[in-house]
Structure 1
């Protein structure tokens, strides 16, 4: 009787042991990262509540004073005499709004610095990874388990905060808040960009930590690399989509929410004369006459309609870079522990 049931019991024990090993890896990863995960989720909840309160207060002020869409200087007849109300709106709600914006701007760097860089370097520096790799856990499986939880929590947190910021930003209006989509900090805080940049910073920090195997050194290098990449994105952003050139032969200007790249004068033949060709000074008028400038102007700009295409293109580039960095990381881990 016992002989008949023994194989089944042995098989069940083996299945249980296998499940335990799988559960053990996930449990260890959770124990190692639960502080990070709970901290980010707490940040998401606190940030979401703060943005909702801020958004409600801003919407109430705008409705009470009827200044939605009014800038400090506006050509809209409805906005005449509201300069003081707009100034009060900006001084009252500007600090809270900029705080939320700065949080999203800094989130990628903080992710790479405090989550990505120590993720593997701490274990490699202390040698604790050896215990996990000797428990029938392959190096790629170990790496996947280490990366999965931080990546999911970072993506959820960044997406939630970006959605709350977008909701608040839209309620305040670009003109009334003075926070235009094309500003460096504004673009980095809106839409998919902070999510993609945070995942890229996580991948860079993790790869750096694996290669250097020193936590402090990895944090310093990660901060430098993410800073350089952020600066590079700012420099190339205007070239991600072809800009629009608008001629104003009889005067005029583009909307306030257009991202003006450069401008100049129109000649009588319809050619474009960049600003600065005729420098200010005694000979400026003679220079303009020599170039047949007739008083018209032109503007090269990204209209507000370009915001989301530009954001998705930049986010796509960041995600592609994150995928490349992650692939390099997997290859390095496989070669190291093969």
Structure 2
């Protein structure tokens, strides 16, 4: 390792060390709490529980019964915040610190081109970001696996699981890094770049959560049951909250037209109003990967665009 890459490592090794320390601490805590989760599952107290959206009840008093998944959700929350943290503490100083101190002029005066100066810095930061985010995503998945899609655990569509795991986390972290890098180039101040990065990554995170709830990128499926027969169980599906009735002509009406779960009242109401079937809309558990790849494409594409903009602005800004 020599030249600009060696200089980049010298400047980023403290951040790399912090990232390694965070990862090691997360691994140790995950191993400890996952072992406790497995002990609870092997004790048999959850053997009577069925998978599904309803919570598991204790046989003796009917109170809800859950695994201790709060530490797991805290890891998911950390993963959700990772893009902002990477952007603020790794991306913003990447170009912003040299721009603020003016030390980039000395480097560029040694016969180093702007593209080489930027590429060595960003490549090293991107590698560290991929390793950190990918490791945390895999760690969450490993910890989550015993309680995945269980009434006493964590369902796939909960924000900490859907956003805090999988390849979309890597794309989101790279997006945060690219936002911070561009912000540092534009503002010439590390603190200003960090604040701008927090604002942008926070806004995009809210937008991504909205696309999930609106099913904008991954449309739900419609599950239809003929007549007044019981609807297909929700199970581990993610309901949109849209339930309704279908007439013989195919018109869909609100479930409030016949607000009865079953029985004679429902049959009489459907017959009297010409309804021939009922339906609900939901995403099956298999759509977890559809959400993951949609988010990966969206955030990865945005990261690539921001990197290209940074490269184009280097000649004018540095």
Secondary structure class of the residue paired with 1:301: strand
| Corresponding residue number in structure 2 for 1:271 | 251
Q: 1:32: how far off?
A: 0.9
1:194 aligns with 2:178: no
Picking from 19, 32, 56, the partner of 1:53 is 32
Over 3 Å counting, the alpha-carbon distance change for 1:179 and 1:51 in structure 2 is same
Q: 1:244: how far off?
A: 0.7
String of CA shifts for 1:86-145, please: whole Å, max 9, x gaps: 95543xx23212221111111111111211112211110110111111111100100011
Following the alignment from structure 1 to structure 2, what is the Cα–Cα distance between the partners of residues 291 and 200? 56
| Corresponding residue number in structure 2 for 1:8 | none
| Corresponding residue number in structure 1 for 2:263 | none
Contact 2:237–2:285 at 8 Å: present in 1 too?
A: yes
Unaligned ranges ≥5, structure 2: 261-265
Secondary structure class of the residue paired with 2:163: helix
Following the alignment from structure 1 to structure 2, what is the Cα–Cα distance between the partners of residues 70 and 45? 34
Following the alignment from structure 1 to structure 2, what is the Cα–Cα distance between the partners of residues 86 and 145? 57
Secondary structure class of the residue paired with 2:315: helix
| Corresponding residue number in structure 2 for 1:246 | 223
| Corresponding residue number in structure 2 for 1:322 | 303
| Corresponding residue number in structure 1 for 2:238 | 259
Secondary structure class of the residue paired with 1:260: strand
Q: 1:331: how far off?
A: 0.7
What is the total number of aligned residue pairs between the two structures? 306
Contact 1:65–1:85 at 8 Å: present in 2 too?
A: no
| Corresponding residue number in structure 2 for 1:15 | none
Contact 1:117–1:215 at 8 Å: present in 2 too?
A: yes
Deviates more, 1:259-268 or 1:28-37: 259-268
CA RMSD of aligned residues (A): 3.0
Over 3 Å counting, the alpha-carbon distance change for 1:104 and 1:83 in structure 2 is farther
Over 3 Å counting, the alpha-carbon distance change for 1:336 and 1:109 in structure 2 is closer
1:133 aligns with 2:108: yes
Secondary structure class of the residue paired with 1:273: strand
Secondary structure class of the residue paired with 2:82: helix
Secondary structure class of the residue paired with 2:43: helix
Over 3 Å counting, the alpha-carbon distance change for 1:291 and 1:129 in structure 2 is farther
| Corresponding residue number in structure 2 for 1:17 | none
Secondary structure class of the residue paired with 1:65: coil
Over 3 Å counting, the alpha-carbon distance change for 1:53 and 1:83 in structure 2 is farther
| Corresponding residue number in structure 1 for 2:2 | 23
Deviates more, 1:216-225 or 1:328-337: 328-337
1:70 aligns with 2:49: yes
| Corresponding residue number in structure 1 for 2:292 | 311
Relative to the length of structure 1, the TM-score reads 0.81
String of CA shifts for 1:280-333, please: whole Å, max 9, x gaps: 9xxxx9xx7799264853111110011112211211221111111101111111
Over 3 Å counting, the alpha-carbon distance change for 1:74 and 1:335 in structure 2 is closer
Q: 1:175: how far off?
A: 1.9
Higher Rg of the two aligned structures:
1
| Corresponding residue number in structure 2 for 1:109 | 84
Picking from 9, 12, 18, the partner of 1:39 is 18
- Runs of 4+ aligned residues of structure 1 deviating over 4 Å after TM superposition are 71-76, 79-89, 275-280, 288-291, 293-296
Relative to the length of structure 2, the TM-score reads 0.86
